[in-house]
């Protein structure tokens, strides 16, 4: 069992589409002449990754560490296009006639959306047989590579005792001091709304979100941007992403991570893994397959925890050390909800409309 071997249960299946902003291109393309079976130049030692943000922040990030080793081992350079969860899928879709990406990494339900829209090719990386069935597509078109969960963050000085229930966030002390990333725009905000609905019910979440708007500062496209505001005390509470927030705590010492109670009265979170897939028509298919195999190697899966602050997707990998101990302690006694993301994808428009109506967003 992996570190994320807490209680698993299926959540109700409703969802949202989310898009983040700002795409960043790192690296440049290589050039050569002959071609390989994938249609790329046989001597082109590169691969292009389109990825949701969260794993590539800084020189010591997961991507920086892993790709440096990958290039050393294979001679292949990884060029990264980093944006929001839905943004990278949109970009890949727009480029379908002239595919630029080789590998896609994004969060659910966006990876399921990419699969539905025919953007992914069948390929089960070596090592992916050790990933749980509910963390990958049955036909091999996508597989979770770094498991992750959502949560909330607080300023530990301003809020010494963490809230425990959704109702707690309605307290007047949080008026103008609470913010959450916008569902329908940010992936973690989307998952937060799903988690609230699992705890409160379909009608209950509509009523709750309407009340919460009294305290909410306003829309935010980015979950990551909220952490600095919480650390400085500009916000007291915000929604968060455990992998990202653990990494941020190295420079933001006032961040406290917590979880709210679910419908059974126990602290509950939702699994929102980073999921990888081979892009259909990848111009560097052979290199892309090598990268995917590398991401599922035991060493890299351990680094999903020791470097990224996330969780290995492979159930046979058990990282050790301070970071692993921190995550184990953080998730002790926490229920992890795993939605059926294919079902989530079916009710997108209606859920978005209901949230917009409840909050007066539109």
**What does the pLDDT read at residue 250?**
86
Q: In this predicted structure, which of 254-258, 274-278, 354-358 has the lowest mean pLDDT?
A: 354-358
Which structure tokens are listed for 251? 């420079």
Q: Model confidence at 3, in pLDDT bands (50, 70, 90)?
A: very low
Classify residue 141 by burial, with Cβ atoms within 10 Å: 0-12, 13-18, 19+.
buried
Q: What is the DSSP letter of 11?
A: P
Measured CA to CA in angstroms, residue 169 lies from 43, 53, 78, 212 at distances of 56, 27, 42, 7
**What does the pLDDT read at residue 25?**
33
Mean pLDDT computed over 168-195: 91
- What DSSP letter does each residue of 116-145 carry, written as one string? HTT-EE----TTGGGB-GGGB-TTSS-EEE
Task: State yes or no: pLDDT of 41 exceeds 60.
Answer: no
Task: State yes or no: pLDDT of 121 exceeds 50.
Answer: yes
Task: State yes or no: pLDDT of 296 exceeds 70.
Answer: yes
- Do 342 and 136 meet the contact criterion of CB atoms below 8 Å apart? no
**Within its chain, how far is the Cα of 124 from the centroid?**
20
Q: How far apart are CA 156 and CA 266, in angstroms?
A: 22
Task: State yes or no: pLDDT of 222 exceeds 90.
Answer: no
């Amino acid at each position: 069992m992996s570190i994320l071997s807490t209680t698993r249960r299926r959540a109700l299946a409703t969802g949202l589409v989310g898009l983040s902003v700002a795409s960043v291109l790192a690296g440049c393309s290589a050039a050569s002449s002959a071609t390989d079976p994938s249609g790329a130049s046989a001597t082109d030692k590169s691969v292009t990754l389109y990825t949701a943000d969260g794993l590539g922040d800084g020189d010591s990030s997961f991507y920086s560490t892993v790709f440096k080793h990958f290039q050393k081992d294979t001679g292949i350079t990884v060029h990264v296009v980093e944006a929001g969860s839905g943004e990278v899928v949109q970009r890949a879709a727009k480029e379908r006639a002239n595919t630029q990406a080789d590998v896609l990494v994004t969060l659910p339900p966006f990876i399921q959306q990419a699969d539905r829209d025919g953007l992914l090719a069948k390929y089960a990386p070596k090592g992916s047989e050790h990933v749980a069935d509910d963390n990958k597509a049955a036909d091999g078109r996508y597989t979770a590579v770094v498991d992750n969960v959502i949560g909330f963050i607080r300023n530990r000085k301003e809020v010494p005792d963490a809230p425990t229930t959704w109702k707690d966030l309605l307290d007047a002390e949080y008026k103008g001091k609470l913010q959450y990333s916008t569902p329908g725009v940010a992936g973690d905000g989307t998952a937060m709304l799903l988690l609230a609905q699992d705890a409160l019910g379909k009608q209950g979440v509509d009523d709750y979100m309407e009340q919460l708007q009294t305290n909410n500062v306003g829309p935010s496209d980015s979950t990551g941007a909220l952490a600095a505001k919480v650390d400085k005390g500009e916000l007291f509470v915000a929604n968060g992403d455990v992998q990202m927030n653990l990494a941020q705590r190295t420079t933001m010492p006032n961040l406290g991570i917590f979880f709210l109670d679910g419908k059974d009265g126990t602290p509950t979170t939702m699994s929102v893994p980073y999921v990888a897939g081979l892009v259909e028509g990848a111009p560097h298919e052979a290199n892309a397959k090598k990268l995917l195999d590398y991401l599922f190697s035991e060493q890299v899966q351990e680094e999903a925890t020791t470097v990224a602050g996330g969780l290995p997707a492979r159930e046979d990998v058990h990282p050790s050390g301070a970071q692993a101990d921190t995550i184990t302690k953080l998730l002790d006694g926490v229920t992890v909800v795993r939605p059926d993301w294919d079902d989530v994808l079916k009710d997108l428009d209606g859920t978005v409309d209901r949230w917009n109506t409840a909050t007066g967003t539109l």
